[in-house]
Amino acid sequence: MGLVDAPPALPPKWASKPCIMGIDEAGRGPVLGPMVYGCLYCPRTYQKTLSTLNFADSKTLKEEKREELFEDLKADESIGWAVDVIDPRELSAKMLKRSKINLNEISHDSAMGLIHKVLNLGVLLTEVYLDTVGDAEKYRVKLSERFPNIKFVVAKKADSLYPVVSGASIVAKVTRDRALRDWVFGETAEDLHRNFGSGYPGDPQTKKWLEDHKHSVFGFPTLVRFSWGTCTSYSKDFVEVLWEADVTDEDGNGRSSKRQLKLTNVGFTPQKEKTEDTESSEQLLLCCGRSNIFQSAEPHDSSEGNIDTDTDGIPKRTNNIPDCLWI
């Protein structure tokens, strides 16, 4: 997966006016590809106009219509948007680490990250609308505690109820569709093909692709979310891995001994002492797995991409890129 870089972006001239934001995701359920969180924001006074732009829940629209609407909103000077593209490697690493982070937590963190980023651009957010992830009221309270000056509305089917969320769903869906369509495999196997269907576990074409691309040692290509239950059914065909690890004696005398550890499910973390080397490797993997993209149609200043640290201490790559173009 690659991104075309472009000059970074800062807020448009209307950023100091009270603004609303909608947030939605695409790709929560598939076993293949990234999960994408998208947001759309605009002045509160533009809300009525927004309802005339024919935004709808992206799942109800054909791909051509979604692409058309995405280009329209990108060209609209009264609209800004942003996405957080969460690589399947990051999803797997967080959900399979010793202190596991579940998908709801990852989703919450992504949504809050988008809010932080837009606020940091200088946009005066006063209202944010989101779809339910987990318990709606607990989610609303969590958001309100983090951002006390913003009114939050958390509702089921928010992408069907609020045009600003419908617009966000288009941003997220088009971004994920492009990511899958133009996915660049890091693996070099000659028999890799792209006939993976929708990426959902129940899709026969996706199942066949997984069967065709499983590897007895390496598991699957990095397009696959190893943390999904779909992958565990293939573990019987994987090679059992045994290795020795240094373990500190329980009596605390500082002596080290060796014991054998076993890994039967490729991609699943065994009970092993975390060393400085393994920790830095994990951070490097995740550092390469996250892209943040921001856009509004107004002129902007430039700012450098940076590395942010999540609450769990794992850094993620943040690139302020003003357009969502995939190579």
**pTM listed for this prediction:** 0.73
φ and ψ of 176, to 5 deg: -65, -40
The C-alpha angle 313, 317, 321, rounded to 5 degrees, equals 145
Q: In what order do the strands lie in the sheet with 35-43?
A: 151-155, 125-131, 19-26, 35-43, 80-86, 290-296
CA distances from 324 to 116, 134, 184, 192 (A): 20, 29, 16, 26
Give tens-digit pLDDT for 112-135.
Answer: 999 999 999 999 999 999 999 999
41: helix, strand or coil = strand
Q: Is 50 exposed, middle or buried (0-12, 13-18, 19+ CB in 10 A)?
A: buried
* Cα 280 from chain centroid (whole Å): 21
The pLDDT value given to residue 256: 53
Give the separation between CA 168 and CA 318, rounded to whole angstroms.
20
Encode pLDDT of 15-58 as tens digits. Answer: 999 999 999 999 999 999 999 999 999 999 999 999 898 887 67
Q: What is the pLDDT of residues 74-114, one digit of tens each?
A: 999 999 999 999 999 999 999 988 899 999 999 999 999 99
Greatest mean pLDDT among 9-13, 58-62, 196-200, 319-323 lies in: 196-200
Residue 327 has pLDDT above 60, yes or no: no
Domain spans, the chain: 13-184+284-318, 204-283
Q: Is 131 part of any known ligand binding site? A: yes
Q: Is the pLDDT of residue 250 over 80?
A: no
Cα separation of 122 and 210, whole Å? Answer: 44
| Residue in this structure with the two tokens 């999540």, named with its chain if needed | 310
Q: Any binding-site annotation on 277?
A: no
Q: What is the DSSP string of 66-132?
A: HHHHHHHHHH-TT-EEEEEEE-HHHHHHHHHSSS---HHHHHHHHHHHHHHHHHHTT--EEEEEEE-
Please give the Cα distance from 169 to 30 (Å, whole number): 16
Query: Which pLDDT score, from 0 to 100, does residue 123 have?
Result: 95
> Is 237 annotated among the ligand-binding residues?
no
Round the average pLDDT of the chain to a whole number and report it: 77
> Would the pLDDT of 206 be above 60?
yes
Homologous superfamily (CATH) for 13-184+284-318: Ribonuclease H-like superfamily/Ribonuclease H (3.30.420.10)
Distance, first Cα to last Cα, the chain: 7
Classify residue 130 as exposed, middle or buried by CB count within 10 Å of its CB (0-12, 13-18, 19+).
buried
Q: Is the pLDDT of residue 297 over 80?
A: no
pLDDT for 18 equals 98
> If DSSP codes are grouped into helix, strand and coil, which group holds residue 2?
coil
Say if CB 146 and CB 111 are below 8 A apart.
no
The two structure tokens encoding residue 124: 């005066």
pLDDT at 320 over 50: no
Q: Which tokens hold the place of 182? A: 């133009």
Residue 144: other Cβ atoms inside 10 A: 14
Output the furthest CA–CA distance in the chain (Å, rounded): 72
Q: At what angle do helices 276-287 and 88-96 cross, to 10 degrees?
A: 150
Instruction: Report how far residue 12's alpha carbon sits from residue 60's, in angstroms, rounded to the nearest whole number.
Output: 31
